[in-house]
Amino acid sequence: MTALTEPEVLQALKDADAVLSGHFQLTSGRHSDTYVQCARILEDPTLTTRLAAAMVARLGERQFDLVAAPAVGGIIIGFAVAQALDVKFIFTERQGGAMVLRRGFEIPAGASVLVVEDVVTTGGSVAEVINLVVEAGGVPTVVTSIIDRGGPKAFELELVPLLQLQVESWEPESCGLCAADVPLYSPGSRRLSS
């Protein structure tokens, strides 16, 4: 099985109707006219396995003890990446608005941790996972994602995405779509109740 190229990843997103147009509130709180619903490509276990293998290939010879991902978006691809690396997988989730470790998940002291996410815009959720890893005594080493939407990040670790997808986003008060009264959709998982 050959690793997926950037054009192949983009085509898979298009084939799955995962690239949406409209007026969206992103998980970061910013607004955009484009939303990538990675869950649509993660419906396909074979494609998910290929995406994970490609992500691992891009990381080279690096060694990890554990993969950690934020719920909800990072769970499927995080698990697939952990499976490709043959290491344990944990996920973080929101409780009372804050990212936490639940379900008895632990991070061994000194463990080298790969953080996995589906789509990174500002990286706020990734930064929260990184902080949890550090607080638990683990060593976050790198972040990988299916898509990097570009722009400044809330974390300093290296980001190794499969696909760079430059999509504009705006703070709500600067959003022309809001000014034009275009209906706003919030398809992300940040506001799911626990």
Is position 120 within any domain? yes
Q: What's the CATH code of the domain at 110?
A: 3.40.50.2020
pTM of the model: 0.86
Is position 190 within any domain? no
Domain span at residue 171 reads: 6-179
Kindly indicate the confidence band of residue 193, based on its pLDDT and cuts at 50, 70 and 90.
very low
- Total number of domains in the chain: 1
What secondary structure, in 3-state letters, does the chain show?
CCCCCHHHHHHHHHHCCCEEEEEEECCCCCEEEEEECHHHCCCCHHHHHHHHHHHHHHCCCCCCCEEEEECCCCHHHHHHHHHHHCCEEEEEEEECCEEEECCCCCCCCCCEEEEEEEEECCCHHHHHHHHHHHHCCCEEEEEEEEEECCCCCCCCCCEEEEEECCCCCECHHHCHHHHCCCCCECCCCCCCCC
User: What residues pair up with 90 in beta bridges, in sequence order?
Assistant: 68
Is position 66 within any domain? yes
Is position 192 within any domain? no
Is position 186 within any domain? no
Q: What is the pLDDT at residue 34?
A: 87
Is position 71 within any domain? yes
**pLDDT tens across 120-172, in order?**
988 999 999 999 999 999 999 999 999 998 888 999 999 999 999 888 888 99
Is position 62 within any domain? yes
- Cβ neighbour number for residue 29 with a 10 Å cutoff: 15
Copy the structure tokens of residue 79: 């698990």
Q: Is 174 exposed, middle or buried (0-12, 13-18, 19+ CB in 10 A)?
A: exposed
Is position 194 within any domain? no
Query: Could you tell me whether strands 112-120 and 139-148 are parallel, antiparallel, or unpaired per DSSP bridges?
Result: parallel
Given a cut of 50, whether residue 192 has pLDDT beyond it is no
The CA distance from 121 to 131, in Å, is 18
